[in-house]
Amino acid sequence: MTNDTRPTIADVARRAGVSKGLVSFALNGRAGVAAETRDRILAVAADMGFSPSLRARSLSVGRAFACGLVIGRSPDVIAADPFFPSFIAGVEDEFSISGQVLVLAAATPGRHEEDTYRGLVADRRVDGVILSDLRADDPRIALVAELGIAAVTLGVPDVASPFTSVSVDDGAGIRLAVDHLADLGHTDIAHVAGPAGMLHGRSRADAFERAAAARGIRSRVVATDFSAADGARATDALLDADIPPTAIVYSNDNMAIAGLGRAQRRGLIVPRDLSLTGFDDAEIGRHLFPALTSVATDARGWGAAAARALLAATTGAPAEARMLPDPRLIVRASTAAPRAGTQTA
Amino acid sequence: MTNDTRPTIADVARRAGVSKGLVSFALNGRAGVAAETRDRILAVAADMGFSPSLRARSLSVGRAFACGLVIGRSPDVIAADPFFPSFIAGVEDEFSISGQVLVLAAATPGRHEEDTYRGLVADRRVDGVILSDLRADDPRIALVAELGIAAVTLGVPDVASPFTSVSVDDGAGIRLAVDHLADLGHTDIAHVAGPAGMLHGRSRADAFERAAAARGIRSRVVATDFSAADGARATDALLDADIPPTAIVYSNDNMAIAGLGRAQRRGLIVPRDLSLTGFDDAEIGRHLFPALTSVATDARGWGAAAARALLAATTGAPAEARMLPDPRLIVRASTAAPRAGTQTA
DNA sequence: TTGTACGCGTTATCAA
DNA sequence: TTGATAACGCGTACAA
């Protein structure tokens, strides 16, 4: 069909005067080929510019040499999330050197998440998938296990999982934020959390409550859907309280940015009247006024680690739980000591 | 290799008592199959839950049933760009219903852009690619043409191109912004542009100058690399001028947001002392204080249109130039009439 | 080391 | 016109 005149393995075999099988062995560096013969075959192959057809290989070995990432969230939410592009770049850092390719699929109006996974597997388009944005009792774990492909989860699921997990201790980041604020003298801190149904949202909220308790801080938590709009709403709700908090720890940067906007609209001066911290350390945060104090995770490193783990899993490596380095707190200008007398408990 | 017990076309043929070839013909609705026989074959196939192996099909017809998108920009810049996620969602809207898949590839530290395209084609992993972020004299046009795969360009290249283009008139959006500011009474407006080497950056800048001239407005343009950091720098430079502009039109939202931060840091009140407009209408913009006036394009619709065009191109449709609806200006709180007396020309 | 079957559809050729 | 047969795409794996 294609007018390809790419040399095939048969061409190489003919030119080298050996059989196809031997060429395959030589190319794959397997035993059973005399050194001299192998060198000759390799020379001929190189000379002819031969490279094996991925498609034929894919058909015969039953692998796709591709992995998938299914985006479940709406594009608006993703668009606001600095995590994915960096994460994907990290995945590519690994894939590009191992000849893998990343297949991106999105649940669309006409195709639900589960169908997306099923479709990918039905067509054998991927050897494995990256499961991100883990949810409570996430049905994808069982689904992907049933479908029989490899997977890695970003974070540790709250259900039994046969897959390798690659995690960052979000909680440690939240603790850094709380401790930072406590050190500044805050005694009444709120947390604008993600949905309880999302594991990282929940773990950040849990960590917040524990860290606040450990420092004897008055704490409250309000759940959101992680969107900027909801972050703004939550901020308003908190600031409408009889005794508003003097600091707010947000579960992501978007909400923190929206919260900052909200506070400023109300005439508050940040950080004088209210301290804010974000999570993700989005590039834009450092250009706001005031620049946003935020928790930084290495999304790119995470992507690379997940890709490595997934590659290992597709070749049969046993599942394990990997931890990445803890996030760091990048202190900027959105946090300061609370105004004296602000707090009248 | 795989322990698949998926029925093959041979199984269907056996069960239906016909040959493989006939099954193929029946399935693909080709002539030469008696209606009755075809119905029987189809019934058997459906009964067995047969679906053709994409891999085998791919091998025999020489198509990948996948298209690629190569990300050339650094992840930091992409992360800040709300365009891609929405665009990709739009692409998926189309691909998901036509059984195509989107392969995402990124230039990585170890692999340059050109090699990324070459790799994708060498392995025949894609039937076509989407060329985004067109540059001046973009070498990718000739490269992809040479590689012999289909493509669509986002915007019209400034070099001869054999590919379909799918474009939005950025300039119309910029004109809306300039006219809006002029209507408010601004007579000295600056443009923080993208790099001259990027076509959409350049076309926005050109449109800006034309629109300003048409309204008799004093204009100046400063080029950036599209990053927030550069947007901040450009803003500082403009505000350091002896007679700073009373309004700034930014070529994207990130720079506008960074510019807003910069202005505020200098003690300016936006929009009282300075009006700002963005481009992209990122979700976060409406939550800033003040909410950002911005030019909105339908990124998702653009993605869907590009996907449709690419699909058509892979099946041999002739190249054409498609235009999408003009962008709209979303007026929010970052623009207002200039302060009386501010401008002493 | 070689020969060959195999993975699985598609399509060209040919017979009825 | 309806259908069967076989070659093809290309690499891998196993028996000989």
- pLDDT at site B5: 66
Assigned token pair, B169: 């008139």
Q: Is A330 exposed, middle or buried (0-12, 13-18, 19+ CB in 10 A)?
A: middle
- pLDDT at site B30: 83
- pLDDT tens digit sequence for B246-282: 999 999 999 999 999 999 999 999 999 999 999 999 9
Give the DSSP letter of residue B158. S
pLDDT-derived band at B2 (thresholds 50, 70, 90) equals very low
- Residue labelled with tokens 């709406």: A74
Rounded percentage of chain B residues whose pLDDT exceeds 90: 75
Query: Domain span at residue B257?
Result: 170-297
Q: Quick check: is B308 in a domain?
A: yes
- pLDDT tens digit sequence for B199-218: 999 999 999 999 999 999 99
CA distance B3 to chain A (A): 10
Mean pLDDT, chain A, rounded, equals: 91
Q: Taking all atoms of strand C, which protein residues have CB closer than 7 Å?
A: A 1, 17-22, 25, 32-34, 36-38, 56, 59-60; B 2, 4, 6, 8-10, 20-21, 23-25, 27-28, 50, 52-53, 55-57, 59-61
- Note whether A51 and A86 are same-domain residues: no
Mean pLDDT of B44-51: 89
- pLDDT at site A341: 55
Mean pLDDT, chain B, rounded, equals: 92
Q: Quick check: is A2 in a domain?
A: no
Residue A80: pLDDT over 80:
no
Q: Quick check: is A336 in a domain?
A: no
Partner-chain contact B92 A108, CB within 8 Å: yes
CATH number at residue A13: 1.10.260.40
Q: Quick check: is B336 in a domain?
A: no
- pLDDT tens digit sequence for B58-103: 988 889 999 999 988 777 777 777 788 889 999 999 999 999 999 9
- Note whether B282 and B192 are same-domain residues: yes
Q: Quick check: is B49 in a domain?
A: yes
| CA atoms of A90 and A305, how far apart (whole Å) | 8
Higher pLDDT, A24 or B191: B191
- Note whether B157 and B208 are same-domain residues: no
- pLDDT at site A5: 62
Mean pLDDT of B130-158: 96
Q: Quick check: is B293 in a domain?
A: yes
CA distances, A75 to each of B149, B183, B282 (Å): 29, 34, 11
Q: Which residue of B has its CA nearest to A285?
A: B258
Q: What is the CA radius of gyration of chain B?
A: 26
| CA atoms of B120 and B139, how far apart (whole Å) | 17
- Note whether B250 and B207 are same-domain residues: yes
- Note whether B88 and B122 are same-domain residues: yes
* Residue B332: CB atoms within 10 Å: 18
Q: Which of A199, A204, A175, A163 is nearest to A322 (CA)?
A: A163
Task: Indicate the range of A54-58, A115-119, A125-129, B259-263 predicted with least confidence.
Answer: A54-58
- pLDDT at site A345: 38
- Note whether A190 and A234 are same-domain residues: yes
Residue A344: pLDDT over 60:
no
- Note whether A82 and A120 are same-domain residues: yes
- pLDDT at site B20: 86
Kind of pairing between the strands at A188-193 and A218-223 = parallel
- Note whether B104 and B243 are same-domain residues: no
CATH number at residue A131: 3.40.50.2300
- Note whether B253 and B306 are same-domain residues: no
Q: In what order do the strands lie in the sheet with A188-193?
A: A218-223, A188-193, A247-250, A275-279, A293-296, A328-330
- pLDDT tens digit sequence for A210-241: 999 999 999 999 999 999 999 999 999 999 99
CB of A5 within 8 A of CB of A46?
no
Rounded percentage of chain B residues whose pLDDT exceeds 70: 97
Q: Quick check: is A337 in a domain?
A: no
- Residue labelled with tokens 């690399």: B225
- Note whether B45 and B78 are same-domain residues: no
- Note whether B188 and B286 are same-domain residues: yes
- Note whether A162 and A70 are same-domain residues: yes
Please give the tally of structural domains in chain B: 3
Q: Taking all atoms of strand D, which protein residues have CB closer than 7 Å?
A: A 4, 6, 8-10, 20-21, 24, 27-28, 50-53, 55-57, 59-61; B 1, 17-22, 31-35, 37-38, 56, 59-60
Q: Quick check: is A333 in a domain?
A: no
Q: How far is the CA of B49 from the C1' of D9 (A)?
A: 26
Partner-chain contact B289 A260, CB within 8 Å: yes
| CA atoms of A168 and A324, how far apart (whole Å) | 5
Bridge partners of residue A104, in order along the sequence: A69, B102
